[in-house]
Amino acid sequence: MTSYSGDSKGRQPFGRRRLPPRPFVRRGPRREVHPIFEAKEQVSRIRIVLLLQDLFFGGTQRHALELGARLDPARFRVELWTMAEGRDFVPLAREYGLSVRLLRPSGPVGPGSVRALWRALRADPPDILAPLTVVPNIWGRVLGRLAGVGTVIGNCRGAADPARQHEWLLWPLAGHVLCNAQAIKDRLTRTFRVPAGRITVIPNGVNTEHYTPPGSRPDGDPVVLCVARMDPVKDHATLLAAFDRVAGGHPTVRLHLVGDGPIRNAVAARVRQSPFADRITIVPGDADLRPHYARAGLLVLSSRHEGLPNVVLEAMASGLPVAATAVGGLPELVADGVTGRLAPPGRPEALAAAMAGILGDERLRTAMGEAARQRAVEEFSLAAMARRHEEAFERVLEKRGRGRKIAG
C-alpha cells in the first residue's frame, strides 16, 4: 500500500493531494494510445472491399475471387461487393470462403446501384476500397472519397479502361493505381500523366495445378477455341473472317466460341452467314473451362484492346499455343514464335496466317504448347500474384498512414 506524508488527518502539505502515476501514452502527432489498445490495433486485420460491377463469368471476376482467396487471412479480411445483378461466381466465392454483398441483388447497374454503394460506404467504410471494372472504378473513387474511406486503390486491367474510366480526371482520387500489364502503365503515364510512382504493375496469376495439359488431345485437325465476352472490344468479326479463310484449307477444323455478352445475337447472325457455319459452335460461359481447353488444340483471341487476359494464362497452363492480336499486355504473355503467334488487330488475313501456321504443323503446335505451359508455371503463379498485392496494399497504407497498419 502506498503511504502518503501529511498531517495526522492524512492531508497533504500545502493542501495538495498526490495522484497515482499516469499510464504511459505515446506522444507525437498520433492520438494518444494506451499500450494495451495499441497492441490490439497492431494485430487488427486490414479490411479490403473488392468492388465489382457483377459476378457474371469473366476474367476480372475470376481474378477477384482468386486474389481474395489467397490474401493472407491473418492480415487481411476480404469482401466482394457488386453493384448489379450477376451471380454466376457466387457459389465459387462461397466455396472460397469469401463474403459476398450484392448491393443491388436484381437489375442492371444504375442510379440505384450508386445510392446503395454510397449508403454502404457511409455505414461501413473499409480500410481499403479496391474497385475493379469500369463503372466501379468511376463511382468507387468518387463515393469512396466523399464517404471518407481512408485508402482507395484504382485498377486498370484493360488497355481501353483508362479512357473509359476517365483516368485523366479521376486518378487523383485514388491513393494508388494497380494495373496488370506494363503496356497499361506506359499509357497511364504517357497519355494521362499519372505519376509513375503512383502505379504498380502486378501481372495476373494462374492456378497451374488446376489448369494442366490433358493426357492426350483428339486426333486430326484440332478445335480452335475462343473464350471471350461477346463485346465489340473482343472483335469476333475479325476472328470469324479469319476462320473462314482457314477452314477452306483444313476440312475438319472446328471453331468453338465460349462466352456471352451484349452482342451475342450479332455474333450468332454473323456465324449463320459463314460458309462454314456447320463447323462453328457458340457455347455459354462456364465457371470451369478445363473441358474446353482439353478438347482444343489452339486458343485464339482477336481483341482490339486487352490487359493481361486470364484466359490466355489458363490456356497456356493447359498446354495450348495461342494465336492473338498484338495489343495491350498480350505481347507480354505470348512469346511470338515460341508459345504462339501474334498478329496486328483488325486484320483477318494476318490472324488467319497465324492460325494456319500453327494448325498445319503438329510438331510445332506441340512444342509451343509445352513452352506455354513452362512459361505459365515459372512466371505467372497465383501465389506470386497474391504476395505482390499484399505488398502493394501494405505499402500504400503505411505511406498514407505514416507507418500505421490500418488506414483511418
Q: Assign residue 124 a region: left if phi > 0, alpha if psi is -120 to 50, beta otherwise?
A: beta
Q: At what angle do helices 310-317 and 59-70 cross, to 10 degrees?
A: 70
54 inside domain: yes
Distance CA 142, CA 47 (A): 19
Sign (positive or negative) of CA dihedral 216, 218, 222, 224: negative
Distance CA 107, CA 346 (A): 34
Closest of 157, 43, 58, 75 to residue 390, by C-alpha: 75
Please name the residue ranges forming H helices in 197-260. Answer: 236-247
* pLDDT classification of 194: cutoffs 50, 70, 90: very high
**Looking at the 3D structure of the chain, how many domains does it have?**
2
Please indicate, yes or no, whether residues 235 and 339 belong to a single structural domain of this protein. Answer: yes
Residue with cell 494465336: 323
Lowest mean pLDDT among 76-85, 151-160, 316-325, 362-371: 151-160
Mean pLDDT computed over 268-295: 95
Segment (H or E) for 330: helix 330-333
33 inside domain: no
Cell of 51: 468492388
Predicted local confidence at residue 146, as pLDDT: 96
Predicted local confidence at residue 3, as pLDDT: 41
State whether residue 389 is helix, strand or coil. Answer: helix
Please indicate, yes or no, whether residues 253 and 130 belong to a single structural domain of this protein. Answer: no
Please indicate, yes or no, whether residues 138 and 62 belong to a single structural domain of this protein. Answer: yes
Phi, psi of 260 (to 5 degrees): -150, 175
Please indicate, yes or no, whether residues 191 and 274 belong to a single structural domain of this protein. Answer: no
What is the Rg, in whole angstroms, of the alpha carbon atoms belonging to the chain?
27
Mean pLDDT computed over 277-282: 98
> Is 171 within 8 Å of 87 (Cβ atoms)?
no
Distance CA 278, CA 396 (A): 54
Residue with cell 504476395: 387
DSSP annotation of 206 reads B
52 inside domain: yes
7 inside domain: no
- Give this prediction's pTM: 0.76
Distance CA 340, CA 298 (A): 9
Please indicate, yes or no, whether residues 252 and 341 belong to a single structural domain of this protein. Answer: yes
Predicted local confidence at residue 25, as pLDDT: 36
Is 303 exposed, middle or buried, given 0-12, 13-18 or 19+ CB atoms closer than 10 A?
buried
Residue 12: is its pLDDT beyond 90?
Answer: no
Please name the residue ranges forming H helices in 149-209. Answer: 161-164, 167-170, 182-191
34 inside domain: no
* pLDDT classification of 294: cutoffs 50, 70, 90: very high
Closest of 173, 172, 204, 199 to residue 184, by C-alpha: 199
* pLDDT classification of 1: cutoffs 50, 70, 90: very low
Please indicate, yes or no, whether residues 114 and 201 belong to a single structural domain of this protein. Answer: yes
Phi, psi of 330 (to 5 degrees): -60, -40
Please indicate, yes or no, whether residues 308 and 196 belong to a single structural domain of this protein. Answer: no
CATH number assigned to the domain comprising residue 306: 3.40.50.2000
Predicted local confidence at residue 310, as pLDDT: 92
Predicted local confidence at residue 216, as pLDDT: 78
Predicted local confidence at residue 21, as pLDDT: 44
* pLDDT classification of 181: cutoffs 50, 70, 90: very high
Mean pLDDT computed over 234-240: 98
Question: Where would I find the beta strands (DSSP E) of 302-348?
Answer: 322-325, 340-343
Residue 245: is its pLDDT beyond 70?
Answer: yes
Please indicate, yes or no, whether residues 198 and 295 belong to a single structural domain of this protein. Answer: no
Predicted local confidence at residue 43, as pLDDT: 53
Residue 71: is its pLDDT beyond 70?
Answer: yes
Please indicate, yes or no, whether residues 86 and 201 belong to a single structural domain of this protein. Answer: yes
Lowest mean pLDDT among 8-12, 60-64, 65-69: 8-12
The full DSSP string for 79-118 is EEEESS---TTHHHHHHTT-EEEESSSSS-SSHHHHHHHH
5 inside domain: no
Residues 169-197 as b/e (b if ≥16 CB within 10 A, e otherwise) read ebbebbbbbbbbbebbbebbeeebebeee
Average pLDDT, the chain: 88
Please indicate, yes or no, whether residues 201 and 54 belong to a single structural domain of this protein. Answer: yes
Distance CA 183, CA 306 (A): 10
Supply the range of the domain harboring residue 183.
41-205+382-401
Please indicate, yes or no, whether residues 192 and 248 belong to a single structural domain of this protein. Answer: no
Distance CA 110, CA 104 (A): 9
Please indicate, yes or no, whether residues 180 and 289 belong to a single structural domain of this protein. Answer: no
Beta-carbon contacts of residue 134 (< 8 Å; ≥ 6 apart): 53, 161, 164, 165
Cell of 218: 483428339
32 inside domain: no
28 inside domain: no
Half-sphere exposure of 159 toward its Cβ, with a 13 Å CA cutoff? Answer: 19
Lowest mean pLDDT among 10-14, 262-266, 312-316, 368-372: 10-14
Provide the Cα torsion 320, 321, 322, 323; round to 10°: -140
